[in-house]
Amino acid sequence: MGKTTMNTLPLFFKLESRPVLVIGGGEVALRKADLLDKAGAIITFVSPEYAPRLTAQFCQTRHTLIHDSYHQTYLDKQTLVIACTDDEAVNAQIFHDCEARFIPVNVVDNPPLCTFIFPAIVDRDPITIAVSSAGKAPVLARLLRAKIETMIAPEYGKLAGLAGKFRDTVKTALPNVTARRKFWEQAFEGQVAETVFQNQPNSLSKAESQLLELLKHHEQTQPTDKSQLGKVAIVGAGAGDPDLLSFKALRLMQQADIVFYDNLVSPPILELCRRDATKIYVGKKACNHAVAQHQINALLVEHAKLGKRVLRLKGGDPYVFGRGGEEAETLAQAGIDFEVVPGITAATAAASCAGIPLTHRDYAQSVKFVTACLKTDTMNDNFEGLLDDSQTVVFYMGLKQLERLTDGLVQAGKSPQTPIAIIANASLPNQQVLTGTIEDIVAKQAHAQLPAPAILIMGNVVKLHQTLGQHP
């Protein structure tokens, strides 16, 4: 069995005209009954006595109030059961009786005796947003709900209602899925939505005509081959900490139909991608490629041609040792629309997170990003360009080559006392930093065994780690 990573699965239950049993007659029963009533359920209440407010609200309606103690025969033909008696033993009995009959049951405020829970709800009918803490922190769930309430204007419900009304019309007018998606995106992000949000007395009818106008326009501009093509976003996911993503990266991650990601993309970042997007690992480690680059390029083109919104999610920045350039070239040649979103590259992430400024007026006037690993899978041994002591040098993909790199530098004339740092897992909770000189770092690393991915920063700025490294 796979690991459970979700405590409960949010589902939206259709209760209209379905029988629901509420056992209890107090204020709690009243609160739950209010919700069930809104959802159209037909409630049977069972309780020896009822709060006057409950009686006033629910007697002589489609619901039934039975004056009796709980008995298991009341469970017959019920879709859901809610127990809120003030007797713990009765509540527990109800839970067990329901479990035996596979009826979903909720004993109010008693998470262990619930097979489903009531989330905190943001109601923008027909849009419903449910927030749950799986019974662990209901107050926090409610606070979050309040936050969401302020973010989602009530007019969103109206907008969704409008879309529902025209769903079939649009489907007939635009049989092509991509064309339809583009239409709705334009409606929800453009004038139609604006008009609904203005919330004037005639807003809805005005928005309806705008929607039909937009539809006519989309029908007339019959999709050419080009407009049926999807789009590729080559997105930098940063060094690993999800907090370092850009808003734009996050937005595109949440829109993607399919995601191709590297091994440098951390699991919490991948979690932020659209839940029902297909996620495909095309990882490659340093010089060792799991999926050849030309295959990745071909996959991007192929899926864009199917009309998908393709996300190429890469560690760090796509255009810094990320082969984003090669992917973009292929897309440009294939005539596919693409955009590139920068990410925080390992060098700057490591620098900030380890307390090693890349430049500093006292120590370094320039900085160089160098790969230790060439396309031919050989080492980059162009050491002559790295001898300037007023320049910081950052090596990507250098950990495996550490010994040859430091030896080569010393042989080329670099001072053996030149400070160097290894930063592994920069920006992540398991970040590690090791400092030394190019003379002793190999021995230190043999002992410390910092893992990949790791980046090397060489130069006098490394001295600042001692004072700045303690302030994460």
Residue 58 lies near ligand SAH (rule: CB under 6 A): no
| Exposure string over 197-231, b if 16+ CB within 10 A, otherwise e | eeeeeebbebbbebbeebbeebeeeeeeeeeebbb
Q: Find the catalytic residue in 182, 206, 279, 284.
A: 284
Residue 44 or residue 435: which is nearer to ligand SAH going by CB?
Answer: 435
Residue 230 or residue 315: which is nearer to ligand SAH going by CB?
Answer: 315
Residue selected from 45, 184, 321, 338 as contacting ligand SAH according to rule CB under 6 A: 321
Residues in the chain: 472
Residue 307 lies near ligand SAH (rule: CB under 6 A): no
Contact assessment for residue 342 and residue 389, using Cβ atoms and an 8 Å cutoff: no
Residue selected from 97, 155, 317, 327 as contacting ligand SAH according to rule CB under 6 A: 317
Contact assessment for residue 223 and residue 211, using Cβ atoms and an 8 Å cutoff: no
Instruction: Pinpoint the alpha helices (H) of 238-390.
Output: 247-253, 267-271, 293-305, 324-333, 346-354
Q: Find the catalytic residue in 37, 97, 241, 262.
A: 262
Active site residue 77: no
Residue 340 lies near ligand SAH (rule: CB under 6 A): no
How many amino acids of this chain bind ligand SAH (CB under 6 A)? 25
Spatial separation of the C-alpha atoms in residues 387 and 368, rounded to whole Å: 11
Residue 454 lies near ligand SAH (rule: CB under 6 A): yes
Active site residue 262: yes
Residue 264 lies near ligand SAH (rule: CB under 6 A): yes
Provide, for the chain, the percentages of residues in helix, strand and coil under a 3-state DSSP scheme, each rounded to the nearest 5. 40, 20, 40
Residue selected from 300, 455, 458, 461 as contacting ligand SAH according to rule CB under 6 A: 455
Applying CB under 6 A, which part among 109-117, 218-226, 312-320, 327-335 lies near ligand SAH? 312-320
Question: What Å distances lie between residue 469 and 9, 193, 432, 449, 464, CA to CA?
Answer: 42, 49, 11, 20, 8
Residue 364 or residue 426: which is nearer to ligand SAH going by CB?
Answer: 426
Spatial separation of the C-alpha atoms in residues 377 and 365, rounded to whole Å: 31
Residue selected from 120, 341, 426, 441 as contacting ligand SAH according to rule CB under 6 A: 426
Query: Which amino acid, one-letter code, is at 198?
Result: Q
Residue selected from 320, 331, 370, 405 as contacting ligand SAH according to rule CB under 6 A: 320
User: Under the rule (CB under 6 A), what is the footprint of ligand SAH?
Assistant: 239-240, 264, 286, 314-317, 320-322, 345-346, 350, 396-397, 423-428, 453-455
Q: Give the active site residues.
A: 262, 284
